[in-house]
Structure 1
Amino acid sequence: MASPAPAPERTDVLVIGGGPAGSATAHWLARAGRDVVVVEKKTFPREKTCGDGLTPRAVKQLDDMGLTSQLDHTHRYDGLRAVAHGITLELKWPEHPVYPSHGFVVRRRELDALVADRAVELGAVLHTGTEAVRPIQRDGIVTGAVVKEKGSGTEREVHARYVVVADGANSRFGRALGTARNRTYPMGIAIRTYYESPLHDEPWIESALDVRDREGRAMPGYGWIFPVGDGTINVGIGLLSTFKGYRDVNTTHLMTEFAATAPAYWGIDPDAPTCAPTGGRIPMAQSISPKIGPTWVAVGDAAGSVNPFNGEGIDYAYETGRMVAELLDESLATGNGMALQRYPALIADEYGLYFRVARLFSVLIGNPVVMRELTRVGMQSRSLMEWVLRIMANLLRDDELGPAEAAYRAAAALVRLVPEPAA
């Protein structure tokens, strides 16, 4: 006789995905005393394609979760070293009334497990090696998910009052609910690997803004080298879909050429990465819609919450997860979902104008000639690059009007005049 189906698991909130957005959502819900279940298809610790760099915005969220003390053994860095056209500028993170003036480089296999474990300590239930294979719907309302334990192949149901979609950039679960990327918005394409380096504990992350191959020919995109502090460096290269020929770009070739032409002081042996390069595509600038239904909501990469200026997504994953957790807590307290329906408006207020400016900028830098000219001019001025850093990392200050704020507000005023593209 066939075994009876397992009894459904029941919870206030089911979170699909245990990465930055999902774990942050679970953390804040559990901290508020709510029942929350997280399903993560991989088993921690697990690798994730990423630059591993945490900016001050991300550090602030980790600090609010009480986790930065657990990063003391990881690599702390002071700012960005920009390299282009034979010029090198070391730019410290700016002083800010809200965000710290430092970042960390932490491998995702450690970082994601750290946040997920804290959510569990606070009362969240975490099922790893468990994939959400399809939503459960009743009368068109999402009421949970069918999940599959990858080890045994057993399927069972998890019923929830609300479902948070946090399964990353590809978001199969989100697509099952009808989410899709607005193709007029930029998308990032990136590849990375690790190399051993004598400068693995440098106080700077490095960005190469004028990338060339071994023949001296300009290549699209920008490169990065992030010291990990464990004897290795994270080396990668990325570009935006606003580059006219991005579909024909061989990212493996870009990675090989960048590793071979990186500054000699890194000591990179381009033929000896510590692991095979991995890459992927990243929806950006809140390009995924819809982000919400009556009982479900998308956060982090699953909502396209990545900054087109610099490809940073971890901070926005933490922030959107926290935002949604607060709305869900209110919805559960009131017994209806009206609080959750404020999410799109809150997203627009928090990121809308900034990401519109970023999208405009991404179109400009998608043109290699414009990109080279902008970097050539920019690298001539330290003060100019300092405020560029503040804008690109979304670290503008509200308490004073300096050059960065003035430049950004001027650009924002122009962007307000440009109609939004149709969704």
Structure 2
Amino acid sequence: MDQYDVIIVGGGPAGSTLARALERQHKRILIIDKQAFPRDKTCAGWVTPAVLASLDIPPADYGQDHILQPISRFRIGMMGQPAVENDHHGVVSYGIRRCEFDAYLLDRTSCDKQLNTPVKTIERTGDQWLINGQWQAPLLVGAGGHFCPVAQKLGEGPGSHETVVAAKEVEFEMTPEQASRCMARGDTPELWFCRDLKGYAWVFRKGNYLNIGLGREDNHKLSDHLQRFVDDMKASGRIPADLPGRFKGHAYLLYAHAERPLADDGVLLVGDAAGLAYTQSGEGIRPAIESALLAARVIGEAEDYSVRSLQRYGAAISERFGVRALNQASGWQVPDWLRMPLASTLMRSHWFTRKVVTENWFLHQQVAPLEEAV
């Protein structure tokens, strides 16, 4: 039986960021993930300069060997009406491919890894967690996304009463003919909000790769909304008429509507396992990275791994992301005043789509990067 200080279930951005931070504290870490890396990860895939700063990744270095699409404009609209295009006069975000980005972050860690290894059993023995009867540690961290087995162990796993965002998307490399005909531009992601404001769709080009998808908080209508959107985009020439493959689905929780506990005796949840995606946009990479950095600080300062010591992590999350508004109705967190027909009018406004939708809801430019504690 192998003994570790911390076992992290999930090798995505949250898990790898936490592992790297804890390695600097000289802790012995094991990362377990059910998939081998690089792996296909369903995600629109963009990161802000704040994320790269928190991860200490120079864009020029990463872009040498990986897709890194500079974004300086956004095209935003409400379905069924013309879009508004805004120029931010500089790079405000970057497009990435998650299969590359996640593998890059994981490769930066030197800790032990058990990849392509599903978690089959989680047992509590005294003050230790025993995983699959083989690996043991006093602290267990769930970083395995919405369906993380550690989150399920805490009682808020798949099938709970939480309101889940469901999304479907496809990402593929366009042929030269498709690329020449595709009207979507790499520096200008397109965001199209559903008319009931319960979700949005996107068209996102990264060089010759194209990502198309739609996410909503009512799964039973997801396929219908997606099909209508794809048909409209094809008819207008925004995307190729001959899309390859099938759309893949994934699920996650919006921060204000998640009810998962963040900590218990000897256990923490980070990233999508904790339900931390931004409520206004559904974007989860930055919350995943920052939750891992906050968790590392708490772990490093904790007297022990009791819930009493670890509850400071929950306080740090609330301070960074706000108090969860569990009494609010489900749906994307838009203000009460942003309702039809006012929403339709505002989505035609350059000021509103730029200052509120893009810079506030999606880019969070008003929030300074969270740096790793040294």
> How many Å apart are 1:178 and its aligned residue?
2.4
Largest Rg, 1 or 2: 1
Residue 309 to residue 68, structure 1, CA distance change in 2 (3 Å):
farther
| 1:306 corresponds to | 277
Equivalences for 1:189-228 in 2 at 5 Å?
189-194=166-171, 196=174, 197-198=178-179, 199=182, 202-210=186-194, 221-228=199-206
Q: Partner residue of 1:82?
A: 76
**Corresponding residue for residue 248 of structure 1:** 220
Q: Give per-residue Cα distances to partners, 1:256-291, cap 9 Å, x unaligned.
A: 32222116343421xx32332111221121614221
**What one-letter code is carried by the residue in structure 1 that aligns with 2:353?**
M
Match of 1:375 in 2: 343
Unaligned runs of 5+ in 1: 1-7, 96-100, 148-155, 212-217, 241-245, 400-423
Contact 1:80 1:90 (8 Å CA) reproduced: yes
Provide Cα deviations, 1:294-319, integer angstroms capped at 9, x if missing partner: 21100111100111211101111111
8 Å contact kept, 2:213–2:226? yes
Q: 1:144 aligned to 2:120?
A: no
Q: Does 1:178 align with 2:162?
A: no
Specify which of 4, 20, 25 is matched with residue 18 of structure 2.
25
What SS does the aligned partner of 2:210 have?
strand
Match of 2:249 in 1: 279
CA contact (8 A) 1:194 1:273 kept: no
Q: Alignment partner for residue 97 of structure 2, among 95, 98, 107?
A: 107
Question: Structure 1 residues 193 and 260 mapped into 2: Cα distance closer, same or farther (>3 Å)?
Answer: same
Counterparts of 1:93 and 1:358, CA distance in 2:
36
Aligned residue pair count: 354
Deviation at 1:182, TM superposition (A): 11
Give the match's secondary structure for 2:123. Answer: strand
- Following superposition, the deviation at residue 112 of structure 1 comes to 0.8
Query: Take 2:365 and 2:61, find their aligned partners in 1: how far apart are those partners?
Result: 26
Tell me the C-alpha RMSD between the 2 structures: 3.3
C-alpha distance in structure 2 between counterparts of 1:68 and 1:361, whole Å:
40
1:76, CA displacement in angstroms?
1.9
8 A Cα contact 2:145 2:252, kept in partner: no
Q: Secondary structure of the residue that 1:59 maps to in structure 2?
A: helix
Pairing 1:69–2:52 present: no
Residue in 2 that maps onto 1:391:
360
> What is the match of residue 344 of structure 1?
314
Gaps of at least 5 residues in structure 2 are: 369-374
> Given the alignment, which residue of 118, 129, 152 partners 2:116?
129
- Normalising by the residue count of structure 2, what TM-score does the alignment of the two structures yield? 0.83
Structure 1 residue 390, shift from structure 2 partner: 2.5
The 1-side partners of 2:304 and 2:92 are apart by 41
Pick one of 319, 323, 327 that aligns with 2:290. 319
Counterpart check, 1:266 vs 2:242: no
SS of 2:51's equivalent in the other structure is helix
Instruction: Using the TM superposition, give the Cα deviation of residue 53 of structure 1 relative to its aligned residue in structure 2, in angstroms.
Output: 2.0
Name the % identity. Answer: 22
**TM-score, normalised with respect to structure 1:** 0.74
Q: Confirm or deny: 8 A CA contact 2:255 2:276 kept in the other structure.
A: yes
